[in-house]
Amino acid sequence: MMTTTTKEDILIEALPYIQRYEGKTFVIKYGGAAMTDLDLQESFAKDVTLLKKIGINIIIVHGGGKAITDLSGKLGLETRFHNGHRYTDSETLSSVVMTLVGTTNKDIVRLINRNGGSAVGLSGMDGGLLRARKFLFNGIDLGFVGEVESVNTKFIELLLSNGSIPVIAPVGVGADGEMYNINADLAAASIASALNAEKLFYMTDTEGILIDGELIPTLTSDKAKQYIAAGTIAGGMVPKVQTSFDAIEKGVKKVHIINGTALHSILLEIFTNVGVGTQIIKSEKPAQPIPRVREKKEDFLDFSELTRQGLYELFHLADKLRKELELRPLAGKSISLIFQKPSLRTRISFEVGIAQLGGIPIVLNNETIGLGVRESAHDVAKVLSRYNDAIIARVFDHSLLTDLASNASVPVVNALSDLLHPCQILADVYTLYEQNLLRPGMKIVFIGDGNNVANSWIEFAGIFPMHFVLAAPEGFEPDPSIMQKAIAAGISTIEILRNPVEAARNADVLYTDVWTSMGQEEEKSKRIAAFEGFTISEDLLQIASPECVVMHCLPAHRGEEITDEAITGVQSVIFEQAENRLHIQKALLCSLFGADEGLQLRRFPADATTEYEKTTTTIPA
Ligand code: CP
Ligand code: NVA
């Protein structure tokens, strides 16, 4: 069936682009036929005025080659070029300033303003806009030809914030006050780079980049380099394309080489799905190669495999991953997440984290697979290992996790069991590190039930020196074998007290968790009675160290284990803990896959602790 494109279709096609580019910066190098033909001039002025009106910041950098050559001819000056750079002696420089700054610049300003825009004409000398230095082309002195040393972006931003369209003649000023004639393509690229522009446009007299007569709509910088090396891109296009790579490397998102001899080429390039010219974009970083699994499959069920050195490596990796969101070390990997219990943070942070790293998360709730009921953990592990690259599981009985781990050929991660919640403690400790609070010997006071979260803290005290105090009523102690092992490690002091006030004295951290964990709902009223007085409140905070932070793994029961004020007070880092689940678990997954090796991380020497742990407090006997 034939379809016709209506005016409405065209407007609607433009809508997402209009939304996307509002507030963004476009730098346009204006030159060639678009500057000399009257219809093309009008079309250009209308295009830039429209772009400005819909909220795009427009900066125009113009050439003026033909006018300079004409005037130079009239003045009897010889015109010579070296690779697109005009040989500029002092007479030629005068003719550059007269035409470029004096006439051409003002003509463009008048043209735009006549079409409803608000253009302001200036040269690179005004306000030190383009600070330049002498440019030598392959060691050849071309006279007063300059290259951009720096751009006064503040000045440009001031004009933009005022609603103006700066129209810039590329004549720069040197440190010595000397004027320099700058190639307009290079000046536009420098300005676009300095402003981290969304787009840089080169208006040329050709359709774009043609390969074997065919217009190439999109070209990556790597592919373009290959074409240049093979001579497929040649002549005057080469410096333009090379300048484009440079601009992209320095932060410009895309460079568009468009046909200035066609009416409204800028609008068509921006607001239509196919565009009309060639866009040059950064080459994708190759996916990081990941060894399938390490020599020995690594699980994360508890802290038995984690060292203090490994802990800092994870922190470092988390720092890197949260900054470099383009990294995809889990590309092509899929991970199943099994949930026998409800979850907000664990599920979302793993699901989002895996997707951000390029992997595919598959969430399986227990009704779907019936772990240990419909099918044994042994069989689930064997089957999932054939589809997935890791298994993450939240279970009631910890032995289900050990069964999964011993039968899976892929890493298994503990997303909470009745016994332990190590991912939570990793996020908690990363939060302390991030806030510059993590210190060996610090006093962590856990007020509440000796549950999975408390057990993981105690296990952690076996690898990181601390004074850990659990304040719990009788009958709510942590797991004895975890206690014994942590004490045997001999680096921390671990105490169980019955009095929360006594426990909280000089605490660096006051931590709590629900009194009734998932699966214990029937004991709720018994527990509420037993834990009376074990609430983290502003009063308890008074007893702690003045710098004490309040932590809670969430979900919280306000008014039971913690007051509303303590959750929302200035000493609370509770929501930072929640956010850090995402960052540290991403690091954990990369490390389990050995993907951290592909990310070229700094390896920490075995005695790395001193670098990070500058203040050592005395560990109580
Ligand atoms: N803290 C924590 O594990 O939260 P969820 O139970 O919501 O995952
Ligand atoms: N101890 C709590 C932790 C929730 C994240 C529970 O197991 O329900």
Kindly list the domain boundaries of the chain, sorted by start residue.
24-281, 314-421+583-598, 436-572
Q: Is 213 exposed, middle or buried (0-12, 13-18, 19+ CB in 10 A)?
A: exposed
Does ligand 2 come within 6 angstroms of the Cβ of 425?
no
Does ligand 2 come within 6 angstroms of the Cβ of 340?
no
Check if the beta carbon of residue 412 is closer than 8 Å to that of residue 299. yes
Which CATH architecture does the domain made up of 436-572 adopt? 3-Layer(aba) Sandwich (3.40)
**Low-confidence spans in the chain with pLDDT less than 70:** 1-5, 273-274, 284-296, 595-621
Does ligand 2 come within 6 angstroms of the Cβ of 517?
yes
- Phi (first) and psi of residue 317, to 5 degrees: -65, -40
Check if the beta carbon of residue 297 is closer than 8 Å to that of residue 235. no
Q: How far is the CA of 341 from the centre of ligand 1 (A)?
A: 10
Res 245: pLDDT: 85
Res 3: pLDDT: 53
Instruction: Tell me if domain 314-421+583-598 and domain 436-572 are identical in fold.
Output: yes
Q: Is 370 exposed, middle or buried (0-12, 13-18, 19+ CB in 10 A)?
A: exposed
User: Which CATH code fits 314-421+583-598?
Assistant: 3.40.50.1370
Does ligand 2 come within 6 angstroms of the Cβ of 518?
yes
For 78, other C-beta atoms within 10 Å of its C-beta total 10
Res 615: pLDDT: 35
Res 602: pLDDT: 40
- The fold of the 24-281 domain, in CATH, is Carbamate kinase (3.40.1160)
SS3 content of the chain, % helix, strand, coil (to 5): 40, 20, 40
Residues serving a catalytic function are 394, 421, 424, 513, 553, 581
Which of 517, 527, 531, when mutated, tests ligand 2's pocket best, judged by the most ligand atoms within 8 Å of its CB? Answer: 517
Res 291: pLDDT: 37
Q: How far is the CA of 222 from the centre of ligand 1 (A)?
A: 44
Which of 421, 452, 517, 554, when mutated, tests ligand 1's pocket best, judged by the most ligand atoms within 8 Å of its CB? Answer: 554
Which of 63, 156, 165, 61 is CA-nearest to residue 113?
Answer: 165
Residue closest by Cα to atom 4 of ligand 1: 345
Res 596: pLDDT: 61
Q: Which ligand is nearest to the CA of 449?
A: 2
Residues with CB under 6 A from ligand 1: 343-346, 416, 424, 553-555
Res 265: pLDDT: 83
State the chain's maximal CA–CA distance in angstroms: 103
Helix intervals (H) in 435-515:
452-460, 480-489, 500-504
Q: How far is the CA of 327 from the centre of ligand 2 (A)?
A: 32
pTM above 0.85, yes or no: no
Q: Which ligand is nearest to the CA of 351?
A: 1
